[in-house]
């Protein structure tokens, strides 16, 4: 696809491939018109390039070889913001001319310049069409989850997916797990100080490399300042943590299940074909 990129050794066990892209003024206007956030385009481009390369979907996801968590960052959760060259963690981040067989030495090499990838018009239009469809699906899912929250009478911390989170997650999934745990605490009415203790217990169950307590507690501090939050099963689905039986899922699809009992055969067929 002739995409300019910069390759860098992270100083740990991974390699970062950086792509800096740019939009034309017309493309920016189109994106602004439908409320596209930079993260939306970044994630779609990541998935699109890997799909074009024939990468197996089994290798893509949080904590997997092609880690979606590294492109899923925003200004609210800083766990996976792109680290600068040099860095301030245990080891240094340095530019590479090619991916090495062994860990490079500690010498730091900085890029001489950054070449921007100008997004082709056809590719931008393909993303916009995708975004419109997915945005409609998100709105429908959001309404369903809001309604499910009113039907749900249990504890979010007791949901099977949240219990899996609290048991500890590996590197690449820890930060996303902290967000889930913090949301569950807030929805359960747990006082903030007690929520911090729960997050620190969770932190103790996770791998300890390259992460600090402040990164876990940052999610509690942010979640507890938000006026309105609701449960979104997508967070756990992204981490492949969904499990049944799930009382929240029963609440989310309560109306559908009731219709299925009333019109079992025909409705079930329609439900399958629509989904």
Can you spell out the DSSP letters for 193-228? HHHHHHHHHHHHHS--TT--HHHHHHHHHHHTT-S-
pLDDT at residue 243 tops 80 = no
Asked whether residue 71 is assigned to any structural domain, the reply reads: yes
Predicted local distance difference test score (pLDDT) of residue 252 = 65
Three-state SS across 35-98? Answer: CCCHHHHHHHHHHHHHHHCCCCHHHECCCCCECHHHHCCCCCCCCCCCCCCECCCCCCEEEECC
Say yes or no: 96 and 207 in one domain.
no
Predicted local distance difference test score (pLDDT) of residue 267 = 45
- Last residue of some domain: 128, 149, 175? 128
Predicted local distance difference test score (pLDDT) of residue 75 = 63
Q: CA angle at residue 102 from 98 to 106, to 5 degrees?
A: 85
Across all residues in the chain, what is the average pLDDT? 82
Please tell me the distance from the alpha carbon of residue 240 to that of residue 140, in angstroms, as a whole number: 21
Predicted local distance difference test score (pLDDT) of residue 190 = 95
Q: In terms of DSSP bridges, do strands 117-118 and 21-22 run parallel, antiparallel, or are they unpaired?
A: parallel
Asked whether residue 59 is assigned to any structural domain, the reply reads: yes
The band of 89, judged by pLDDT with boundaries at 50, 70 and 90, is low
pLDDT at residue 78 tops 70 = no
Say yes or no: 167 and 53 in one domain.
no
Pick the closest to residue 217 from 174, 272, 156 (CA basis): 174
Asked whether residue 1 is assigned to any structural domain, the reply reads: no
Residue 15: strand, helix, or coil = strand
pLDDT at residue 229 tops 80 = yes
Which H or E run includes 117? strand 117-118
Say yes or no: 49 and 159 in one domain.
no
Say yes or no: 121 and 166 in one domain.
no
pLDDT at residue 9 tops 80 = yes
Query: Domain range for residue 158?
Result: 139-274
Please state, in angstroms and as integers, the Cα–Cα distance from residue 232 to each residue in 20, 61, 92, 213, 259, following that order. 30, 18, 37, 25, 23
Asked whether residue 266 is assigned to any structural domain, the reply reads: yes
Predicted local distance difference test score (pLDDT) of residue 70 = 75
pLDDT at residue 177 tops 80 = yes
Say yes or no: 120 and 184 in one domain.
no
Say yes or no: 117 and 10 in one domain.
yes
Say yes or no: 73 and 173 in one domain.
no
- Last residue of some domain: 93, 128, 163? 128
pLDDT at residue 57 tops 80 = yes
Say yes or no: 64 and 113 in one domain.
yes
| Total domains in the fold of the chain | 2
Q: Which residue has the higher pLDDT, 153 or 63?
A: 153
Say yes or no: 54 and 152 in one domain.
no
Say yes or no: 78 and 203 in one domain.
no
- Last residue of some domain: 128, 151, 167? 128
């Amino acid at each position: 696809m002739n995409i300019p990129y910069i390759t860098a050794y992270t100083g740990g066990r991974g390699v970062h491939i950086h792509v800096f892209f740019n939009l034309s003024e017309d493309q920016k206007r189109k994106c602004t018109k439908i409320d596209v956030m930079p993260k939306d385009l970044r994630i779609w481009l990541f998935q699109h390039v890997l799909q074009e390369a024939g990468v197996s979907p089994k290798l893509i996801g949080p904590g997997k070889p092609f880690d979606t968590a590294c492109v899923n960052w925003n200004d609210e959760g800083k766990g996976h913001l792109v680290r600068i060259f040099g860095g301030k963690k245990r080891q240094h981040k340095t530019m590479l001319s090619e991916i090495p067989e062994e860990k490079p030495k500690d010498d730091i090499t900085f890029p001489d310049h950054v070449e921007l990838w100008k997004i082709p018009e056809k590719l931008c239009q393909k993303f916009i069409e995708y975004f419109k469809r997915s945005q409609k699906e998100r709105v429908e899912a959001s309404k369903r989850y809001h309604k499910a929250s009113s039907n749900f009478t249990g504890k979010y911390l007791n949901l099977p997916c949240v219990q899996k989170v609290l048991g500890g997650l590996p590197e690449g999934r820890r930060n996303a797990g902290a967000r889930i745990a913090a949301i569950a605490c807030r929805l359960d009415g747990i006082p903030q100080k007690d929520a911090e203790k729960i997050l620190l217990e969770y932190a103790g169950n996770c791998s300890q490399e390259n992460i600090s307590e402040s990164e876990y507690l940052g999610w509690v501090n942010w979640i507890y300042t938000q006026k309105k939050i609701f449960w979104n099963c997508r967070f756990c689905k992204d981490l492949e943590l969904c499990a049944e039986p799930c009382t929240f899922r029963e609440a989310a699809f309560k109306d559908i299940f009731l219709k299925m009992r009333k019109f079992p055969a025909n409705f079930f067929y329609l439900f399958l074909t629509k989904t």
